[in-house]
Amino acid sequence: MKEKSTSTHFNRLRSFRTGHRERLRARFNTGGIEAVQPHELLELILFRSLPRRDVKDLAHELIHDFGDLSAVLSAAPSELRAYSGVGDSVITDFKVIEAAALSIGQSKTKLRPVLQNWDALLSYCRARMAEKKIEKSHVIFLDKQNQIIADEEMGSGTVDHTPVYPREVMKRSLELSASALILVHNHPSGDPSPSLADIEMTQKLKTLAESFNIVLHDHLIIGRHAEVSFKNIGLL
């Protein structure tokens, strides 16, 4: 009798789980991303990685602990493995989705002049850098039409500092025959306000670039939920 009761309970649980998945998929297919919450979007991803497990609680826990879906997808594998059920298959799926999002963002900015496509550039920079746990500095090298030649990391540091060497940036600019630059770095603290060191380094780079007839269009600082443009606040 006990065996039958356990089996019935298991079948009901499996039926409920299957029904929940089908309803969530149907809602997403009908209404798209606007029809689901962030934890539900994460559930849809986890359905593929963990087909036989109820993932609702796990999705809630990950969103709660990391803050949002972007932070979950970009989290370090060592952080993710701390959660029950999160193994190599889940981590691989997360990293594939993160890489696909970056590739899409890059393709939207690469084929058109970035100054005419600024929102797409900002979205790409946010996706690439907002969730990093240490400071990283990138330089986006542009040609005469302000199209992207390359986006390269030029410095990696600590949680609150990264060295950027203007001479190294200029050396790479000349190698790529760049006509203009956009400097981008993140603030892991979340506050995108420029430091005195940020301002001083930017002025040095601007002066050096001008001596080679290269334009420094902007310096963007990417925080977790906001960004600062040196040009917009009058520092360039």
Distance CA 129, CA 122 (A): 10
3-state secondary structure 182-202: EEEEECCCCCCCCCHHHHHHH
Q: Are residues 91 and 31 in the same domain?
A: yes
- Residue 93 shares a structural domain with residue 181: no
> Is 83 part of any domain?
yes
CB atoms within 10 A of CB 114: 21
pLDDT, position 227:
92
Helices (H), 133-188: 166-175
pLDDT band of 32, cuts 50, 70, 90: confident
Same domain, 225 and 132: yes
When divided into structural domains, the chain yields a total of: 2
Say yes or no to pLDDT of 9 above 50. Answer: no
Last residue of a domain, one of 48, 73, 100: 100
- Do 134 and 161 lie in one domain? The reply is yes
Q: Is the pLDDT of residue 115 over 80?
A: no
Question: Residue 15 above 80 pLDDT?
Answer: no
152 & 207 share domain: yes
Which of 9-18, 91-100, 216-225 has the least mean pLDDT? 9-18
Provide the residue range defining the domain that includes 73: 2-100
CATH code of residue 185 = 3.40.140.10
Q: How far is CA 1 from CA 9, 10, 13, 55, 140, in A?
A: 12, 14, 18, 30, 69
pLDDT in tens, 34-60: 888 989 999 999 998 888 888 899 999
Most confident of 27-36, 39-48, 124-133, 169-178: 169-178
Position 236 in a domain: no
pLDDT greater than 70 at residue 167: yes
Please report which confidence band the pLDDT of residue 157 belongs to, taking 50, 70 and 90 as the band edges: low
8 Å CB contact between 114 and 142: yes
Q: Which one-letter amino acid corresponds to residue 11? A: N
Please report whether residue 44 resides in a domain.
yes
171 and 208 together in one domain:
yes
Q: Do 144 and 132 contact (CB within 8 A), yes or no?
A: no
User: Does 108 map to a domain?
Assistant: no
Residues 143 and 209 reside in one and the same domain: yes
Residue range 29-36: average pLDDT? 87
Verdict on whether the full-model pTM lies above 0.85:
no
Helix (H, G, I), strand (E, B) or coil at 51: coil
Reported as a single tens digit per residue, the pLDDT across 201-210 is 999 999 999 9
Judge whether residue 2 has pLDDT over 50: no
Nearest residue to 63 via CA among 99, 39, 97, 32: 39
Residue 112 has pLDDT above 80, yes or no: no
Are 148 and 124 in a shared domain?
yes
pLDDT band, residue 168 (cuts 50/70/90): very high
